[in-house]
Amino acid sequence: MREYLLTLCITAAVTYLLTGPVRKFAIVAGAMPEIRARDVHREPTPRLGGIAMFFGLCAGLLVADHLTNLNEVFAKSNEPRALLSGAALIWLIGVLDDKFEIDALIKLGGQMIAAGVMVMQGLTILWLPIPGVGNVALTQWQGTLLTVALVVITINAVNFVDGLDGLAAGMVCIAAGAFFLYSYRIWYSYGIEAAAPATLFAAILMGMCLGFLPHNMHPARIFMGDSGSMLIGLVLAAGAISITGQLDPDALALFTGSEKAAVHQTVPVYIPLLLPLTIIAVPAADLVLAIVRRTWRGQSPFAADRGHLHHRLLEIGHSHSRAVLIMYFWSALIAFGALAYSVNSASMWIVLGVVFLSAIGLVLLLLPRFTPRVPLWAQHFVPPRYRRRRRPAELPAGACAEAAGTTPVAAAATASADAERPPVTAGVTGVNGATAIGPRSRIGKATR
């Protein structure tokens, strides 16, 4: 576990430190497109954040290759090299798209080529665990087509959900966290080395997302662009393919008693191949809905619009931050709910807990304008929008001046200046027509 955490931290640190220089490079290179009709940000923001994420991926793989235990992954498997080859290709396509806005069909072709490159180097689905049936071996063509389809679907699901600040990076990080816990359990609890590459991929993916999130949270200083969204989508798909398509359930049968029981143990992993991804079910659902919606309107499935789930959350009244947190909540509920079910599928408490949390999520969806307030002792630990507004009688000395838009020092200076200023006088006409001079505050209306 320590070596995985070290790899995660190194990946996050490299990604975080490189994002600032990459932002300056993106501004110089002109990778700051004008605001489009479907965008929710108000100011042009540089893209190309995927450059920092890719170098974070390279740093994570390089560090893991020099660690004692993780070095065996590179010695016994060609999957890390296959991942790096496919990631480099998809990253280059994303960089070109962030700069020059290439055609959607060209990007689709590049995604298929990147998936094919990984298949040629051994990262492919060899068999498919099916509940109630057991292990089903796939032919070479079947495995290739299924692998390419899974990679393309996952890449586009992540790309489609990348519409709000911090949304895609946070959701993929949540999915990678659940996936890491599952694959680590298979690797160390059952001693199955075939799960080691997937565990490494998940740890590196978490580091890439965590390192980029501080720069991408609302208001974002830089966007990951297609160079980042397609990259993390490919890494996530590579982990699912590695542990699902190459982990033989017969090995798990030695611990669970039968092959069918072993297949049942892989619930949170084989379901991603069918849905296609339970761990990112929210982006996958958004992808399906977008394709259906655009096809129904007679548009291209790749034509961008403002009908995604996060756009609808904004339309019903949720703020930007609240919409992102709601999407985080549902992603974590589905991913970790599947993980908990795989650990103990016979427990009714897991089902009841998921139902209860789902009800809480529905309440949050129906209360877009509800703003929770924290106690007075926690005012300094939360953003200003969650702080209680004190009444004027409860405000300390000088706070009224701050509420009026001035500081206590400015208010005192103004009062001192008023005291030193001579009283304003006004001329009034007396009884004989003479003009009397005196303070305006002390002279009433003249009478004749």
* 159 appears as a binding residue in the annotation: yes
Residue 419: Cβ within 10 Å count: 7
Q: For residue 243, give Cα distances in angstroms to 16, 194, 413.
A: 28, 7, 70
* d(C-alpha 212, C-alpha 234), whole Å: 17
* d(C-alpha 205, C-alpha 177), whole Å: 9
Answer whether 282's CB lies under 8 Å from 161's CB.
Answer: yes
Cross-strand bridge partners of residue 438: 426
* d(C-alpha 321, C-alpha 166), whole Å: 9
* d(C-alpha 310, C-alpha 303), whole Å: 17
Q: Which helix (H) or strand (E) holds 157?
A: helix 140-161
Q: Mark out the alpha helices in 297-319 (DSSP H runs).
A: 309-315
DSSP assigned state of 46: -
Candidates 172, 301, 271; CA nearest to 229 is 172
Q: For residue 80, give Cα distances in angstroms to 31, 227, 273.
A: 30, 20, 21
* 226 appears as a binding residue in the annotation: yes
- Between β-strands 425-429 and 134-137, what pairing exists: parallel, antiparallel or unpaired? unpaired
Q: What would the two tokens of residue 17 be? A: 């430190």
Binding-site members are 159, 226
Residue ranges at the known binding site for Mg(2+): 159, 226
